[in-house]
Structure 1
Amino acid sequence: MASHKYYSERLGLNPNANGLPLLDICGLFLRIYELLRTDGYFDEALGSWCVDAGHISGYLGDVDLEILLAIRKKNLYPVEDRALSYSEDDLFDVIEFLYQHVSAPVEGTMHNYGGCGMHWETFNKQKGKILLREKVNGVLGHYVRRFELSANGEILSSPDIGFEMIFEADLPTKDKTVVDRTNAAVVRYRRHGSTADDRRQAVRDLVDVLEYLRPQLKLLLTKSDENDLFNIANNFGIRHLNDQQKTSYDAAIWHSWMFYFYLSTIHVVLRKIEVFNTK
């Protein structure tokens, strides 16, 4: 269901109609982090506090050290002190790190003395990841730049409007090569920080999947249609590098079109193969 557009946005008066700036997003992220921290979602990994025992270490032990070893950056932790100074890369690195270590509290013991609270003893990582992803994507949905946290814990660019469903649809095949290569191409294309070369390579990878399926395509398409399918990749600087290639086009726009064209084609072709094989 589409969210309600309020007065200033409807009239074009809202200065943040296209999304909030990074500083505001960092502030929103900090608030959800603090809520989850208070509710025990990071106790297992980051540790907790007891009025009697003081700081109780989590399984990460020295969190600063573990972040440095994992991300190779300093001055990211404690999140409470650093979040408002994060760059975009910092924010996304920390989100991905926390996603690997969040866990929902399940059972524990109430420590009433001094209002200490729950000492959680058992945790569920999957439930923690689901909630953190939901909360993070709720925040990122307000960002002026379009990103989301995937179920695999990677920050990816959000799908272009109208193409959301294609990333949610399962590929109708049990061929691991097709599934793995297609999914890898999608991640390469959507990954935060992907370059123009990354996106061109992602298009090429999708074409390679179709090349792999070509023997079966010959049973479904005319020779002319088959040739047309590969014409763009073979003659517009995607698969080959020679003076015959046509490359005087806006790569940012057309590589996006090629990516969605070939990804959609893979889905269609696999469904046609599935139907053909059931006859």
Structure 2
Amino acid sequence: MALPLDDPDYALLWPVDVFRDEFGAVLASSDSQALELLCREAFASPELAERIVRDRSPENPWDDAFVTARELEARLDAIREQPQPRPYYHQRSGAKALAVPRLDLARRAFARLVADFDRNGYLDRAFEKDCADAPRDDPSFILEERLDVAELWPLRPDSWSEEIFYSLVEVFHDFVARPRTVERYHDWDNCGAHYGSYATKPGRALYLARVNAILERNGFNLRLAPDGEDAGRLVVATDDARDDLLERSIAADDTHADPVRHAIRLFRARDASRAEKRSAVVSLALVLENERGLLKQEFLSGDEGALFTIANQFAVRHQNVNQRPDYDDAYLDWIFWWYLATVELIRSLRQREAAQP
């Protein structure tokens, strides 16, 4: 019988992109037990994992441990993420957006998330398995080495300042790694599974998605950066269109890659000062200066000068008595995004040039 992927029990708990990448890696390993573990973790119901178990059963007349997995592979486009709950009555009846972030709720939700990751083996590579026969060392010592703060484990969210909360969000990103296999199951004293074959990339991707969801629903204007020089660090949130621009800019690999990535890191840092934002704009202005010939060639006559007039006359690139330093930070933000979009335009023009015979 075909997989009923429209059934709510087959809804995906993971982000689709994260699951696709990890499913491909696990399927390539030809390890049906690893596939079972992945499906138990990633889907709302264990039904899909149970089908994989039945596939490798001795009673299976076809003796094909991957028939379900191959069907899933062929129908990946039909998989759907579990939707967020629809708004409840008071939310539908005009409740206002959060005026301030809900720090208490976010801290407690984050502590539950870390406990869930720990229970599923995502912290075993960093902290070791807490086994009944061989208890692990106190994770507080590892956290203290990183953060210079003692007695952070077990997690006590009500005791965290906002800064400690943010630091813990970042440090656990560096610790998590997804276990792909169960090496053995230890019954004694409810010890449970001993995992192995840890993979950092899917662990961090899942962690990032879950943490960012907590921050978003509790009104924080911060997100863990998925890539760039500040990957795994909290940065100021942007809208989807600007997120796409940032991703393309960070992924680009050309002569301008390093200064552009450096500018992005400076600008979107959680605590970026006015001076750091100015430095980010200066880095982009230098990229544009190096491409001035192309800009003159492609823009209407004289239009490219407006890009540099702003940088030169508004106390961005230089400091002198003729400049205008008294402008709102919102204009600095506008200049950054304008310049970054122009760098992306230059890359597109260069690609077009390279494609011409």
8 Å CA contact retained: 1:156, 1:190: yes
* Separation (CA, whole Å) in 2 of partners of 1:118 and 1:212: 57
Query: Which amino acid counterpart does residue 352 of structure 2 have in structure 1?
Result: V
In the alignment, does 2:172 pair up with 1:98?
yes
Q: In structure 2, what is the equivalent of residue 50 of structure 1?
A: 131
Query: Which amino acid counterpart does residue 35 of structure 1 have in structure 2?
Result: D
**RMSD of aligned residue pairs (Cα, Å):** 2.5
CA positional deviation for 1:275:
1.7
Q: In structure 2, what is the equivalent of residue 189 of structure 1?
A: 267
* Separation (CA, whole Å) in 2 of partners of 1:39 and 1:173: 35
Query: Which amino acid counterpart does residue 96 of structure 1 have in structure 2?
Result: E
Q: In structure 1, what is the equivalent of residue 343 of structure 2?
A: 266
* Separation (CA, whole Å) in 2 of partners of 1:25 and 1:182: 33
In the alignment, does 2:193 pair up with 1:118?
yes
* Separation (CA, whole Å) in 1 of partners of 2:237 and 2:307: 26
CA positional deviation for 1:46:
1.3
CA positional deviation for 1:89:
2.2
* Separation (CA, whole Å) in 1 of partners of 2:323 and 2:154: 50
CA positional deviation for 1:190:
0.7
CA positional deviation for 1:191:
1.2
In the alignment, does 2:92 pair up with 1:13?
no
CA positional deviation for 1:77:
1.6
Report the TM-score when normalising by structure 1: 0.86
Q: Which has the larger radius of gyration?
A: 2
* Separation (CA, whole Å) in 1 of partners of 2:320 and 2:151: 46
CA positional deviation for 1:122:
3.0
CA positional deviation for 1:114:
2.7
Query: Number of aligned pairs?
Result: 269
Q: In structure 2, what is the equivalent of residue 64 of structure 1?
A: 140
8 Å CA contact retained: 1:109, 1:121: no
Unaligned runs of 5+ residues in structure 2 are: 1-80
Query: Which amino acid counterpart does residue 208 of structure 2 have in structure 1?
Result: R
Q: Say which SS state the counterpart of residue 163 (structure 1) adopts.
A: helix
* Separation (CA, whole Å) in 1 of partners of 2:180 and 2:344: 40
In the alignment, does 2:309 pair up with 1:227?
no
Moved more, 17-26 or 97-106: 17-26
Q: 1:271 to 1:76 in 2, by over 3 A?
A: farther
Unaligned runs of 5+ residues in structure 1 are: none
- The share of aligned pairs that are identical, in percent, is 25
In the alignment, does 2:118 pair up with 1:37?
yes
Higher relative contact order (CA 8 A, sep 6+): 1
Q: Say which SS state the counterpart of residue 302 (structure 2) adopts.
A: helix
Query: Which amino acid counterpart does residue 163 of structure 2 have in structure 1?
Result: D
Q: In structure 2, what is the equivalent of residue 201 of structure 1?
A: 279
